[in-house]
Amino acid sequence: GQQLNQSPQSMFIQEGEDVSMNCTSSSIFNTWLWYKQDPGEGPVLLIALYKAGELTSNGRLTAQFGITRKDSFLNISASIPSDVGIYFCAGRYNAGNNRKLIWGLGTSLGVNP
């Protein structure tokens, strides 16, 4: 079935560094969502995007809905240890009565204090 390509698969950075990750799809999407999952917890919604070109921030996090509608990017500025976790992208492709999200496999982020 449909799948999103999320990259990088994992990354390990120094505290204070900026981080970028992205998701791409083969289909046109009309919704992009970014979630964070802490160890042992369920995913928590960070940012939701609904329009091509949209740029939305949530504190140190900024996400963009690509203008081709086939990709999305998440940036984290000035990383801190509590940013550690797995970041998932999810999207909904534009097809009639589609009610389901497609999920990426996640980017695992480690932060060295």
Partner 1 sequence: NAGVTQTPKFRILKIGQSMTLQCTQDMNHNYMYWYRQDPGMGLKLIYYSVGAGITDKGEVPNGYNVSRSTTEDFPLRLELAAPSQTSVYFCASSYSSLASVPLPYEQYFGPGTRLTVT
To partner 1, the closest distance from the beta carbon of 23 in angstroms equals 11
Check: CB of residue 74 under 8 Å from CB of residue 22.
Answer: yes
Residues 6+ apart with CB under 8 A from 61: 34, 46, 47, 74, 75, 76, 77
To partner 1, the closest distance from the beta carbon of 59 in angstroms equals 18
Nearest to partner 1 of 56, 77 (CB atom): 56
Nearest to partner 1 of 19, 90 (CB atom): 90
Q: Which stretches of the chain bind partner 1, using CB under 8 A?
A: 1, 31, 33, 40-45, 48, 50, 88, 90, 92, 99-101, 103-106
Six token digits for residue 87: 């970041």
To partner 1, the closest distance from the beta carbon of 87 in angstroms equals 11
To partner 1, the closest distance from the beta carbon of 19 in angstroms equals 19
Cα separation of 107 and 85, whole Å?
8
The DSSP H or E segment spanning 102 is strand 102-103
Cα separation of 48 and 9, whole Å?
21
Nearest to partner 1 of 66, 106 (CB atom): 106
Nearest to partner 1 of 24, 31 (CB atom): 31
